[in-house]
Structure 1
Amino acid sequence: MSFLTTENVHKRYALGHVTVDALRGVDLVIGRGERVFLGGPSGSGKSTLLHLLGGLDAPSSGCVTLDGQDLAAIDDARLSDFRARHIGFVFQNFNLMPVLTAVENVEYPLQLLGERRRTAAARAMLEAVGLGAQADQYPNELSGGQQQRVAIARALVHRPALLIADEPTAALDSTTGAQVLELMLALSRDTGTTLVVCTHDRELLARAERRVLMRDGRIEHDSGALPAQAANHAAAAALPESA
């Protein structure tokens, strides 16, 4: 059953007098609990697609639907609340608040949602990512891998239905990056959270359960697409640039 979908999604940007077509009619269906990796060369549209899936940007045309909700149909205030409740984000630069301890960083999303038992929940999530002993340390006292684990705990502490990860291992060495990725996959399996990861790392893509490869704003290959979808992707990828 579809959980996260895009239907004929286009995204255009104006750069001076030039219009850039970042996405050119993308159709994608992701089931609840799936773990999907987006790949492709720089400028392929994978990051743009990821931002649309997470409700961080809106399509120029087409529809992005999460669990039956058309994200473009929500006003900004309601969309912010929807993201806060249903989506978690992990970025390559961690984005931790330096003046807060690890546990305070993790409980911050729960504070915004008005949750009462947020400290206990944050400490439990830090235990889940293997950082229970570092809960009261500040980000500058943690390694890069530990900071990313804190970021993952923060993204999952409110039990989101969808976890979006944008190049989550890019700032880490290969060994630490692989460990962080395995942690995200394991937590996704344990919680049933749908996971969408954007990465340029070919080794990570090779290990993915489902790979969606982008080129020139279109899906070039989808290892998990139904036969009809796969045929549509192949036909779209074959279109000339001026199409």
Structure 2
Amino acid sequence: MAENSTLDFEPQVGLGTMGIDDPDSIATAIELGYRHLDTAQIYENERVVGEGIERADAPREDLSLATKVWADNLAYDDVLSSTEASLDKLGVEYLDLLYVHRPIDTYDPEETLAAFDELYADGRIRGVGVSNFSVAEVAEAREILDAPLLANQVEMHPFYRQEELLADARRHDYALVAYSPLAQGKVFDQPEIQSVAAKYDATAAQVSLAWLAGKESVVPIPRSSSETHLQQNLAALDLSLDAEAVAEIEAIEREQKLFE
């Protein structure tokens, strides 16, 4: 098991790209200051993301680029071949982070993670991520891998807080990358979040992102293709919530998991 190395998640709001089909949206995000870009084989937009990177005026080494191997590509040979296809579509020589998208279907910890180790040893990936893993599944992966396990990407928002996984991430020095950080828009109508937003003259989205980004080891990756929303989401990093505001959000009596 390798010691973890650090992936550059700065600024600590990344860009989720599921559903984005315009390379200019990716290029705009990079020009605005996004540096952590997240895609996946199953999104079928790796080529779009790659074209956006090519159009943007930012050195490749300044970006943290991640994709995910889908559940039907997790056999040893399929991990290797599908990752090469992802690299080709993205137009890059290496990935900063390669995820196991879900521990289902063809996932076999020993076989799958051996392929990830090979990609790491060959310099094709800089670190391994897992996604939608439980604490026990993360622990198993961490014990098998020689490569550093840098992240677990999971659903996380004010209605689904992932306290157990967050404690584990802090204990073992990996990031919890939060997808659907705005709960698919459900945070917009939550009274407590609206109250905090009014206090700070901010949007509900900014409050939710600031709440997440303010937590040690958490990196939210909101999805947006609108330049206005891209700017607003990144500006959430300028919002520092006080203890009272954090307590108000964390007192919300609602738990809702959106994805199974």
Range into which the TM-score falls when normalised by the shorter chain = 0.3 to 0.5
- TM-score in terms of structure 2 length: 0.36
Report the structure, 1 or 2, having the larger helix content: 2
- TM-score in terms of structure 1 length: 0.38
Greater relative CO (CA pairs within 8 A, separation 6+) = 1
